[in-house]
Chains A and B, each alone.
Chain A
């Protein structure tokens, strides 16, 4: 590594991409369970600027709104000074608790509703966290709205917020009903000849999707159209009806494209009803852009966690006792938690198992989903602990994981629908070159570089939800799929196109897919990696019915014109509902009410997970202690892969985020105020191109005919899981320093 900069800065990413394409095409060819690497059908629209995101929709004669957020972390507004703001030319209205808008609250999403939090913003003069929405300015131009918002000032009566773990005044809520137990952990741990007990911490993260939050409300009579980025248009429709107190049939939510969701657009934002109510009151469409800084606090986030793992093993490396306890931060009012221990204790065989969960209520906003919400933080704890015990045992960390692999869910004793973890480690290890690993700390160093290798297991529960679709096919072979599901940039338009084409025996170019509109048949929430499995399962039913009615067979070369001729129509339309096994028969019906029954993961008679293995190399400069990840390999087995290309980009995207999770991302909370002090993307760091020089994701072939009719497992989230631990483990290998808090930054290594 004489010229480190060349390697880190100037690696031509394009070449890696091309090389990857060739590799995955080859893999796809040898494996019948991987679909064609079709390029995104919406790609041309996106790169030519024709794809319209929520904020791009033009409405007649709009007013512009700007949020006003609190500048204290806890308190009460005692006075509003709005004289200067009212004088700004073009201001039409200034709303606050003093002249509250006509909108109510909806049920909190984690309590079975749709709303991001359980309370309505500025219904009262109270401020519950720093950056909470306390007012709304509406004006003729966006500039006037912002100028007036800046001129508004509030007097507060404040008290000290308790905004972080350990602060005076946070409230702990134990959740014994979430505890999982098997055997007697305490005595098994005591008896285990080799053991470790460690505490881990993960940081608060903010989604920072490229597409900023925005909302446009447009009333025509009593009909309301709302353009808002959403991962759940049906839920937004139902929740908004509840908040506004109007008939849901009068609301349409539109967002055909979403510029990154990551979970941050999954529950109904508090400002949507404010914008709709303001528009109703002012008699004109209202458009809101939420700024990048405001997006840090007015939407949800991934809360920080503190974890304890105790792991005991026999001399042979077999796990005898595993305990995983977690504490998660949440808001005062809402008990949001992710409880990743549900998954971590199902990774390896162990005789005795115990979990524990508590939330810590603090003066912060209510957290929410973020890519692999439960697994991302908790696999940092588990997979670091497994590495620690591998060291105690002097065993190879890959070998140890394989030794504890199990085909039976260790908690419930039921079989996995499929589990190819060993194969992931085999293929990933081969590609990465794991056979060259030497375990001694620092043994792989070169010149001024400390080099370490680390591994971790990755996983994500395979989940599904009910889904309804409508498909139209005409005599020319043109088909249209309509479903209120979503494409967050993930490739849903493309894989659903492929599914319809395959089922009906037509070309992908003959299929048109309509998503992201609440008037369409209710589809899936874009969460839990359920989109592909659930939508394709419903598509299969609809297409089968179409084939049956037309009297044609799947996969055969049929003369469609002749079939339609016999049928006596020029077109045919089918509506179909799919109910996953384990869901109640009326689940599709409740879907119309915005209620999603998600099944999968651990179920009564089976457990469904996708698995993967992550291999990372870190290089740490001896002088600057900068930590970089020049190489990473992920190998994932997730049942049938609809499209090798979009799948791979999901995996790689997850892995890139994993680097950020391990080394960069943290919303820095000032404990004195509860404010995020790096609320911009200059200081809230995520990896840039130069941070991800060489990465590969391997699609490990797997056939799962039990999990769902489509044989598909979710792949949207698994890529990030385990990455942070693999990097932390590599840092340990390079330096001998076990870092149990992420992000790991050079500060942690300066004294090595």
Chain B
């Protein structure tokens, strides 16, 4: 690890003043939340920020609902959010996506701000040696033609096929969430979560629209009543503590067996948090059945492209979408779910 300056300012204004943008993505100072992504990458020398601005003293806490709008602070931990009644009862997909992620130890320190901004697990990005356009722009992409079983099939480019590895964002994206941010000179702004991450295209080093000194302060979203009928299905190599090979966040508005509206988010398969809008449109007015579920899956993966080891994610992803639609349709939403469904 390279030496760095550490600071822990006590206001949002002071934090965004202190963070030292360098104008080059990944080169400037960094905000430190739970540190489970950042410290990890610093130990690998993949991230070498000259300074680290710890946001632990900022009061970006709390999950509240006012006027039908839920507001979540960026420093709320994954564990706290996963067991919060609003997440558990009103939109189980949000709670599900969190408790199926990482491990209890990680969830206890990792924050929702950091979670959304977690970096890819692409091994060539992390090895700090291989050609990697994301880490070292213009150097090439070792993952194409390499070991790429875990990498993306949607939203890829010739420059980068790195998966957005997180779970939570794929669920949060269902509710047209707004990200609240703060910059030094410009002050607060609001960004649609769906616009936060950018496709790799020719510049995979750019992952979000955030400026270097831009701090996420929280999220705002509205939960329709039918968000109770929502699930997160995550296919992975082992039963717990593994990243998604393919996952689907699904919420359904049902009229009997007929789908009034569907929302579908995909994880483990795309370069950014992914909303499968065409599949959502297709489901409108359809009756829930195995065939509709699979057809929605096919539509969701229409533009997918497989590489040496990850082509299996395309049929897998279709089936995961079908299962999530099924599970959501079968979900018992009569009472409140109440309890957390066990340890992960």
B240 an interface residue at 8 Å Cβ cutoff?
yes
- Cβ–Cβ < 8 Å partners of A150 in chain B: 1-2, 45
A6-B339 Cα distance, complex, nearest whole Å: 12
Does B322 interact with chain A (Cβ within 8 Å)? yes
> Judging by beta carbons under 8 Å apart, are B146 and A672 in contact?
yes
A672 CB contact (under 8 Å) in B145, B237, B238, B239: B145
**A672 CB, nearest partner CB in chain B, Å:** 7
- Closest approach, in angstroms, between the C-beta of B232 and any C-beta of chain A? 11
Q: Distance (Å) between the CB of A75 and the closest chain B CB?
A: 13
Interface set, chain A 675-721, CB cutoff 8 A to B: 675, 677-678, 682-683, 685, 687-691
Please report which residues of chain A, range 611-635, place their CB below 8 angstroms from some CB of chain B when the two chains form the complex: 621, 623-626, 628
- Chain B residues whose C-beta falls within 8 Å of the C-beta of A668 in the assembled complex: 123, 147, 149
A683 cross-chain contacts in B, Cβ below 8 A:
121, 123, 150
Is B323 in contact with chain A by the CB < 8 A criterion? yes
A664 & B2 in contact (Cβ 8 Å cutoff): no
* Selected contact of B123 from candidates A10, A143, A678, A745, CB within 8 Å: A678
A146 within 8 A of B: yes
Contacts of A220 in B (CB 8 A): none
Would you call B341 and A6 a contact (CB within 8 A)? yes
Which residues of A are found within 8 Å of B277, using beta-carbon distances?
none
> B240 near A625 (CB under 8 angstroms)?
no
Q: Is B312 an interface residue (CB 8 A)?
A: yes
- Shortest CB–CB separation between residue A20 and chain B, in angstroms? 21
B235 within 8 A of partner (CB)? yes
| Contacts A677-B147, A747-B312; A71 near B240 (Cβ below 8 A) | no
Closest to B237 in A: A685
A5 an interface residue at 8 Å Cβ cutoff? yes
Q: How far is the CA of A472 from the CA of B112 in the complex (A)?
A: 61
B1 in contact with A688 (CB, 8 Å) = no
1/0 contact trace for B99-131 toward A, CB 8 Å? 000000000000000000000010110010110
CB-based contact B127/A677 at 8 Å: yes
Tell me, in angstroms, the Cα distance from A409 to B319 when the chains sit together.
50
B10 at the interface (CB under 8 A from A): no
Q: How far is the CA of A340 from the CA of B154 in the complex (A)?
A: 44
**A8 touching B239 in the complex, CB below 8 Å, given contacts A147-B3, A678-B123, A750-B315:** yes
Is there contact, CB below 8 Å, between B45 and A624? no
Q: A10-B343, A624-B233, A672-B145 are in contact. Are A746 and B239 (CB under 8 A)?
A: no
Q: When the two chains form their complex, are residues B237 and A746 in contact, meaning their CB atoms are under 8 A apart?
A: yes
Q: Quick check: B238 and A623 within 8 Å, CB to CB?
A: no
Q: Quick check: is A670 within 8 A (CB to CB) of the other chain?
A: yes
**Which positions 8-67 of chain B face chain A at CB distance < 8 Å?**
45
Nearest CB in chain B to that of A743: its residue: B237
Number of interface residues of B (CB under 8 A): 41
B189 within 8 A of A: no
- Asked if A670 contacts B312 (CB within 8 A), the reply is no
* A30 contacts B by Cβ under 8 Å: no
> Max chain A CB contacts within 10 Å: which of B1, B235, B236, B237?
B237
- Residue B175 at the chain A interface, CB threshold 8 Å: no
Residue B161 is within 8 A (CB to CB) of chain A in the complex: no
Instruction: Tell me the nearest residue of chain B to A6, going by C-beta.
Output: B342
Q: Which residues of chain B have C-beta atoms less than 8 A from A691's C-beta?
A: 238-240
* Chain A residues closer than 8 Å to B343, beta-carbon distance: 9-10
- The distance from the CB of A143 to the nearest CB of chain B, in whole angstroms, is 7
Q: Give the chain B neighbours of A625 by CB distance below 8 A.
A: 235, 316, 319
CA distance A146 to B45 in the complex (A): 10
A5:B237 contact, CB within 8 angstroms: no
Is there a chain A Cβ closer than 8 Å to B320's Cβ? Answer: yes
Residues of A close to B241: CB separation below 8 A: 688, 690
Residues in A with CB closer than 8 Å to B145 are 672
Residues of B within 8 A of A222 (CB): none
Q: How many angstroms between the C-alpha atoms of A398 and B1 in the bound complex?
A: 56
Asked if A751 is an interface residue, CB under 8 A from chain B, the answer is: yes
Name the contact of A9 in the complex, choosing from B2, B3, B344 (C-beta under 8 A).
B344
Q: Say how far B315's CB is from chain A's closest CB, in angstroms.
A: 5
> Within 8 Å of chain A (Cβ to Cβ): is B211?
no
Contact assessment for B323 and A624 in the assembled complex, using a CB-CB cutoff below 8 Å: yes
- Cβ A745 vs Cβ B341 within 8 A: no
A677 to chain B, nearest CB (A): 4
Interface flag for B242 (CB, 8 Å): yes
Closest A residue to B319 by CB, please name it.
A623
Residues on the B chain within 8 Å of A689, using CB: 240
B245 interface residue per 8 A CB criterion: yes
Closest 4 CB pairs of A and B: A10-B342, A623-B323, A690-B239, A624-B235
Other A-B pairs beyond A683-B150, A746-B316, 11, CB < 8 Å: A9-B240, A143-B1, A150-B1, A621-B235, A623-B319, A624-B235, A624-B320, A670-B146, A673-B130, A677-B124, A747-B149
A-B contact pairs, 12 of them (CB 8 A): A9-B240, A9-B342, A9-B344, A147-B2, A624-B323, A664-B237, A675-B127, A677-B123, A677-B127, A682-B243, A750-B315, A751-B315
